[in-house]
A and B are shown apart, each in its own frame.
Chain A
Amino acid sequence: MTKPYLELKNLSKSYDGRSRALDAVNLTAAKGEFITFLGPSGSGKTTTLMLIAGFEAATEGEILVDGVPITRVPPHKRGIGIVFQNYALFPHRTALQNVMFPLQMRKMPKARATEKARAMLALVGLERFAERHPREMSGGQQQRVALARALVFDPALLLLDEPLGALDKNLRENLQIEIKRIQRSLGVTTIFVTHDQSEAMAMSDRIVVFEGGRIQQAGTPLQVYDRPVNEFVARFVGDSNLLPLHLTDPASGLGEIAGIGPVRLPPQPARQPGERATLLLRPEVLGLAQPGASNTCRMRVETVVHFGDSALLIGDAGGTALRARLPGQAAQGISERAEIALSWNPAAGHLIPAA
């Protein structure tokens, strides 16, 4: 990684002096990176955002932007743009006046401020709505104004606090692409907070998974999806089968799953014989077994859910609940209560060491 632009060093936050909402968080981000904080509510992702923004004071630790500590700088001097969950547009100001606000606070001459704000509104595609008040705009339009307002003063960082949560699905997807496009074109380092894993997968350069006030894993979307470091991450990101595994002979790549039998292990660093681990199989790596395939199991189908392009089969394999996602074609003709044989490529699995 290049020289870190944003650094969180050993950041902790306690509200009551005993329990920790945030516990020793360390993280660096490069200039221009798009990072998503992903986690359930209460996991510490929003607390971290509030600490970076300066609305909460860190109990311990340091925040640096471009090498400068800002931990004790008041929020209005940090120069960080924030888009809030409910947009927080000033209701008494028009869209243009909202976008001009940070420039006005920086004593920019009015003519230049107007010009700059208009240009920013154009960038988010709202130049025609400049004179509207927030209440005269749709949620998606308000969202864009909030984004323009947070970007117009060339902030050191852009923070987005679940900004798409209140919008319906189609609009969300459009805005995801839109935000990504604008972020790229301006090259602003961005932190995006969400509890929606598909949103995180779609938008991020890197995903940071939070749980219990700690960072569980930080990595690219594919790293987090394919090689989660623990069961929490595996469960939280994507659909998953987590199968308890007995490493019978790791040297030759063999293990055993109770009720299913011996299986070939994914090519991961060697472990001790007799050790226990969890095998992660994403439902889409399971396929209908061809004759003679290794790594097979028999599943009694209990429920079939058709999505058109694919189908999810939920059933039981030797006492273990299993979910398999097959292409729509392949799933045709499989009825509930059918017995089917499934197999998977050993390399498509992922071993998670026992906690």
Chain B
Amino acid sequence: MSATAAATGESSLKSWLLLAPLLVFLAAFFVVPLAQVVVMSVTEPEFGFGHYAEIVTDGFHLRVLMETFVTALVVSLCCLLLGFPLAYAMAAAPASLAAAMMVVVTMSFWTSFLVRTYAWMVLLGNRGPIAQFAEWLGFAAPELLFTRFSSTIAMTHILLPYMVLSLYGVLKRIEPALPRSAASLGATPAAVIRHVVLPLAAPGIANGLTLVFVLCLGFYVTPILLGSPREQMVAGVIGQQVEEFLAFGEASAMAVVLLASTLIVLGLYHRRFGLDRLWG
């Protein structure tokens, strides 16, 4: 543990000894199960790439993939649109108010997906506050639940804290003198945001978008509980194939496609910004 031993051969051996328990554990209980998914995708029920061919050729799987990507994109953009003003307000607010806002965001972040999904079922249900308000106004209660709308708004709400925390991180670090000096140089408030704040916040925006997009791609719980059964997302289809049809091969092939998509997005982020910053 002494500093003198750094970067010597002895220390290298020590490093691997310290790492060994975790590496063995992850190999056995993470890498093997993950590899099993890849293997099953080409061996269940028999060896071959039939499941992948099916995904590419039959309309159903492609439609599900498209649906998933579009949803993830919409949710990411909604999170950015909603998250930016909130993060901006938090960064601009006096310390105690900012702390109170932070408490709300952190609480949302830590509250179980299921709780938040359930809350949206209450809010959007046909006996919920929105429906009752519409009825009171004299309209027919709108069908909000189990639609693309309900799952999108719930996922946006659930993933919004990731975006806000990413944005807040960069906005808070902007030197307060910068917007002021831009203003003193003649920039209008809108121009300050466009030419000073946004460029400096770019890494946080990319960070938030990537996180939300990737988490949304693999989202299982909320689309199943709140979404339209006719417009499923990939994760739901994978689960269904295992649960209802025990079709492990098909499910695994879809899982590999989902995994590859996720890794591609993360890889793009990694090349530009470095992955270690994503969850920092």
Contact = CB atoms under 8 A, between A and B. Distances in A.
Report A-B touching, CB under 8 Å. Answer: yes
Interface of A: 55-57, 74-75
Interface of B: 2-4
A56 B5 CA distance: 9
- Name B's interface SS: helix
A74 B5 CA distance: 12
Contacts, number: 8
A74 B3 CA distance: 12
A55 B2 CA distance: 8
A85 to B, nearest CB: 16
A326 B2 CA distance: 54
A308 B2 CA distance: 52
8 contacts: A55-B2, A55-B3, A55-B4, A56-B3, A56-B4, A57-B4, A74-B2, A75-B2
A74 B4 CA distance: 11
A75 B4 CA distance: 11
Contacts of B3: 55-56
Contacts of A56: 3-4
A310 B63 CA distance: 88
A57 B2 CA distance: 11
Nearest to B4: A57
A55 B4 CA distance: 7
Which 3 pairs from chain A and chain B are nearest by CB? Answer: A57-B4, A56-B4, A55-B3
Nearest to A55: B3
B134 to A, nearest CB: 57
A57 B8 CA distance: 13
Contacts of B4: 55-57
A181 to B, nearest CB: 34
Contacts of B2: 55, 74-75
Nearest to A75: B2
Nearest to B5: A57
A75 B3 CA distance: 12
Contacts of A55: 2-4
A343 to B, nearest CB: 53
A235 B2 CA distance: 38
Nearest to B3: A55
Contacts of A57: 4
Nearest to B7: A15
A96 B3 CA distance: 28
A56 B6 CA distance: 11
Nearest to A50: B3
Nearest to A74: B2
B199 to A, nearest CB: 36
Contacts of A74: 2
Nearest to A15: B7
Nearest to A56: B4
A110 B75 CA distance: 63
Contacts of A75: 2
B104 to A, nearest CB: 30
A96 to B, nearest CB: 27
Given A55-B3, A55-B4, 6 more contacts: A55-B2, A56-B3, A56-B4, A57-B4, A74-B2, A75-B2
A354 B3 CA distance: 42
A56 B2 CA distance: 9
A222 to B, nearest CB: 38
A88 B196 CA distance: 41
A293 B237 CA distance: 104
B242 to A, nearest CB: 50
A256 B3 CA distance: 55
A57 B3 CA distance: 10
B2 to A, nearest CB: 8
A74 B2 CA distance: 10
A333 B176 CA distance: 48
A256 to B, nearest CB: 55
A249 B252 CA distance: 98
A74 to B, nearest CB: 8
B157 to A, nearest CB: 40
B222 to A, nearest CB: 43
A49 to B, nearest CB: 14
A328 B3 CA distance: 53
A22 to B, nearest CB: 15
